């Protein structure tokens, strides 16, 4: 059964995205899925936008805004920890709460997979997912990622630790 996914468009971050970036980066409910543990100032994020070359070879990462067909920003997708020698990058995705459960994350991963293969010529994408985050695990599996390893006490949530799954997709 083929699922029809919504259209998404990926674009570079613009100065006008500062407020959206500020909101997403400072949402403490999402800090447990990334490496952020302190709030970012508007100035720091402005400097990031202003100084980013938007070149994965220079920045070792690329961050793009996700838009729907109505040109509303619905989230952000990142390729980070780029390793040019091994042609791999870590993927991260955030869909804003009001746009979740619409297939946008799956459509975005499909789009970033195409970009990673056809433009960046990557060999693989990978993600670390909390073993208890069944929603994210299902999403990545729907997109072709496979569980490769379980990493013990990989993620820290204050005084507790959670296991993470390393999920890989070979392009």
Closest CA to 129 of 165, 91, 76, 168: 165
Q: How far apart are CA 123 and CA 115, in angstroms?
A: 12
First to last CA, the chain: 22
Contact predicate 88/124, CB 8 Å: yes
Closest CA to 124 of 92, 82, 62: 82
Q: How far apart are CA 7 and CA 107, in angstroms?
A: 7
Tens digits of residue pLDDT in 110-155: 999 999 999 999 999 999 999 999 999 999 999 999 999 999 999 8
Tens digits of residue pLDDT in 29-55: 666 665 566 778 888 888 888 888 888
Quick one: pLDDT at residue 75?
A: 95
Contact predicate 167/142, CB 8 Å: no
Q: How far apart are CA 44 and CA 57, in angstroms?
A: 22
Tens digits of residue pLDDT in 55-102: 888 889 999 999 999 999 999 999 999 999 999 999 999 999 999 999
Quick one: pLDDT at residue 35?
A: 59
Q: How far apart are CA 64 and CA 48, in angstroms?
A: 13
Kindly state the tokens that stand for 118.
């056809």
Closest CA to 5 of 92, 94, 157, 108: 108
Closest CA to 113 of 96, 91, 135, 130: 91
pTM: predicted TM-score of the whole model, two decimal places: 0.89
Quick one: pLDDT at residue 40?
A: 82
Q: How far apart are CA 169 and CA 171, in angstroms?
A: 6
Kindly state the tokens that stand for 75.
């989230």
Quick one: pLDDT at residue 1?
A: 60
Q: Does the pLDDT value for residue 7 go beyond 90? A: yes
């Amino acid at each position: 059964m083929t699922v029809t996914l919504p259209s998404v468009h990926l674009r570079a971050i613009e100065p006008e995205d500062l407020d959206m970036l500020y909101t997403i980066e400072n949402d403490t409910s999402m800090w447990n899925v990334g490496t952020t543990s302190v709030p970012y100032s508007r100035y720091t994020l402005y400097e990031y936008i202003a100084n980013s070359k938007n070149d994965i070879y220079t920045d070792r990462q690329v961050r793009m805004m996700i838009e729907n067909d109505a040109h509303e920003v619905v989230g952000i997708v990142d390729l980070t920890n780029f390793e040019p020698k091994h042609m791999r990058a870590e993927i991260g995705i955030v869909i804003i709460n009001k746009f979740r459960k619409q297939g946008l994350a799956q459509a975005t991963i499909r789009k970033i997979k195409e970009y990673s293969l056809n433009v960046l010529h990557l060999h693989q994408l990978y993600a670390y997912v909390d073993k208890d985050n069944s929603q994210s695990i299902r999403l990545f599996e729907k997109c072709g990622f496979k569980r490769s390893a379980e990493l013990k006490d990989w993620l820290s949530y204050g005084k507790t630790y959670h296991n993470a799954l390393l999920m890989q997709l070979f392009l």
